[in-house]
Every structure is written in structure tokens, then in C-alpha cells.
């Protein structure tokens, strides 16, 4: 029997952060930014702004702006801000980050969303993203950049298993990424990368609610399309970028 009344699973409800980020690492990032004493924090591609809200909680004198183009994520962020008593210090804006006039600010978060700063008609360019981040942050300010990099050069078979059109040019090795940040006007105060445990928690959490829903509603009208989507996502990870694509968390300080 088709259960047409069954609601779809909540979007990304199994995730605290929209990326491979553990509670322990998040706590260190929050303390590092809060200790810099920011007056204003900008979160680019904020999603629901979990890390932004934690920074504002740890830095009572700061105000924050999160920008994203996903209205559902932004609504979730507003609810979280209200629940934590931070609504008066937080703005969640539905807008593009490209050419943003939200700066200059004391601190920026850009976790897995540097593409939002680049020309969408061209291949992703981390150099352009870093130039934009430098424009948006004050001298001496702090940027936490979460950016993909190749742990090693992927094989042709691995590239074929990733996202459509994947090439070795989609990411840089870690050393080249850090060198690019330096040439863009930053000093790399802290360099760290996501662990396998963080990746596995993120990848599983990304699909968790949906997998439970599919198991309970195999005949729902939306089940076939949903099943094809999550199976494709899982295969891209397991057969493509697992142990090949890394995420670097770079704490960058803008040179004076």
C-alpha cells in the first residue's frame, strides 16, 4: 500500500554541522575565533549557522551575519538563534555572497562554501575566493576557511566515481592551497584536516534520516527518486572521493 500521507524526512536533520567537523574540532575553532575578540563575524554559506551561533555565545560582545541562498537552512538558523537567546545579535540573510558588501569584519567563517565567492559560470577558483575573503576581513582579522584538497592525485577510476565531470583540477594539494593563502595576504596560524572519523560521521549523517524514511516507506511516491539520489551520493563517496578528497580547516590571519 502506498502511504501518500507520509511526510518526507527533515533536510539534513541528522547533522549538527554541514561538513566533516567533530564537536572537539568545532570547540577549538570557536575558542580560537572568540579569543581574538571580534566585534563582528560573517559566515559565508552559513547554512543554519551552528558554528556562528557558538562563536557569538562564546564572544558576548560580537554580532554575526550569516548569508546563504537556502531559505530552509536559514529558517532553521533563526529558530536556533531564538532558542539560544542570540536572535538580537544574529542576522540570517538570504542572499548571494558574490561581491558581498558585508565587510570588512573582524572574523569570517567560510566552511565548504568558497564557491559562493566565485563566478558561477567558471570553474571553482580558490585564488578568487581567497582574494574575496581578504577583501572582506580587516587587517589582523581571522578567517576560518574549510576547503577541499586532494590527499593524493585521484585515479581515473576514482574520478569517474565522484561527481559528474570531476577532474584533478577541481582541487589543489594541501601545500599549494596554503601557499595560495599566503600569497593572498594571510598567514596560516593553524592548519588542520578532517579525520576519517569526521568524514564517516558526516557522510552517514547526511543520509541518515533519509535512509530511515526509505526503509519505512519503500512504496511512497517520492521513494524511487529519493532512493536514486541517496544511492548516487553514497556511491560517489565510497567509490570515488573516500580517502582521496580531504577537507582542510585553515585559521588564517590577515596581514596588516
What's the rounded Cα separation, in Å, for the pair 103 and 100? 7
The rounded mean pLDDT for the chain is 95
Query: Domain 23-197+245-254: what homologous superfamily?
Result: Vaccinia Virus protein VP39 (3.40.50.150)
Asked if residue 173 lies in contact with residue 154, where contact means CB atoms within 8 angstroms, the answer is: no
What's the rounded Cα separation, in Å, for the pair 246 and 40? 29
pLDDT digits (tens, 9 = 90+) for 20-70: 999 999 999 999 999 999 999 999 999 999 999 999 999 999 999 999 999
* pTM given for the model: 0.93
1 pLDDT higher than 90: no
Residue 75 CB coordination number (10 Å): 13
| Domain positions in the chain | 23-197+245-254
9 pLDDT higher than 80: no
5 pLDDT higher than 70: no
pLDDT digits (tens, 9 = 90+) for 81-107: 999 999 999 999 999 999 999 999 999
**Average pLDDT of the residues in 226-242:** 96
- What DSSP string describes 51-93? HHHHHHHH-TT-EEEEEES-HHHHHHHHHHHHHTT-GGGEEEE
pLDDT digits (tens, 9 = 90+) for 104-137: 999 999 999 999 999 999 989 999 999 999 999 9
255 pLDDT higher than 90: yes
Hey, what's the cell of 63?
A: 554580532
Amino acid at each position: 500500500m502506498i502511504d501518500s500521507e507520509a511526510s518526507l524526512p527533515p533536510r539534513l536533520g541528522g547533522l549538527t554541522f554541514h561538513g566533516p567537523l567533530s564537536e572537539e574540532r568545532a570547540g577549538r575553532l570557536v575558542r580560537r575565533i572568540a579569543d581574538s575578540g571580534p566585534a563582528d563575524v560573517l559566515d559565508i554559506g552559513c547554512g543554519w549557522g551552528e558554528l556562528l551561533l557558538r562563536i557569538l555565545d562564546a564572544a558576548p560582545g560580537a554580532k554575526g551575519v550569516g548569508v546563504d541562498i537556502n531559505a530552509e537552512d536559514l529558517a532553521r538558523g533563526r529558530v536556533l538563534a531564538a532558542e539560544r537567546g542570540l536572535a538580537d545579535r544574529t542576522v540570517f540573510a538570504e542572499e548571494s555572497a558574490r561581491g558581498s558588501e558585508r565587510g570588512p569584519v573582524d572574523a569570517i567563517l567560510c566552511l565548504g562554501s568558497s564557491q559562493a565567492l566565485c563566478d558561477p559560470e567558471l570553474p571553482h577558483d580558490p585564488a578568487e575566493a581567497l582574494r574575496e575573503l581578504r577583501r572582506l576581513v580587516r587587517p589582523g582579522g581571522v578567517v576560518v576557511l574549510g576547503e577541499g584538497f586532494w590527499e593524493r592525485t585521484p585515479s581515473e577510476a576514482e574520478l569517474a566515481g565522484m561527481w559528474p565531470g570531476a577532474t584533478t583540477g577541481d582541487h589543489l594539494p594541501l601545500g599549494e592551497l596554503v601557499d595560495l593563502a599566503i600569497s593572498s595576504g594571510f598567514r596560516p596560524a593553524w592548519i588542520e584536516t578532517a579525520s576519517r572519523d569526521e568524514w564517516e560521521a558526516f557522510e552517514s549523517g547526511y543520509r541518515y534520516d533519509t535512509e530511515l524514511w526509505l526503509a519505512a516507506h519503500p512504496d511512497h511516491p517520492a521513494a524511487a527518486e529519493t532512493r536514486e539520489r541517496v544511492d548516487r551520493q553514497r556511491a560517489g563517496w565510497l567509490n570515488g572521493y573516500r580517502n582521496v578528497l580531504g577537507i582542510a580547516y585553515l585559521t588564517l590571519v590577515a596581514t596588516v
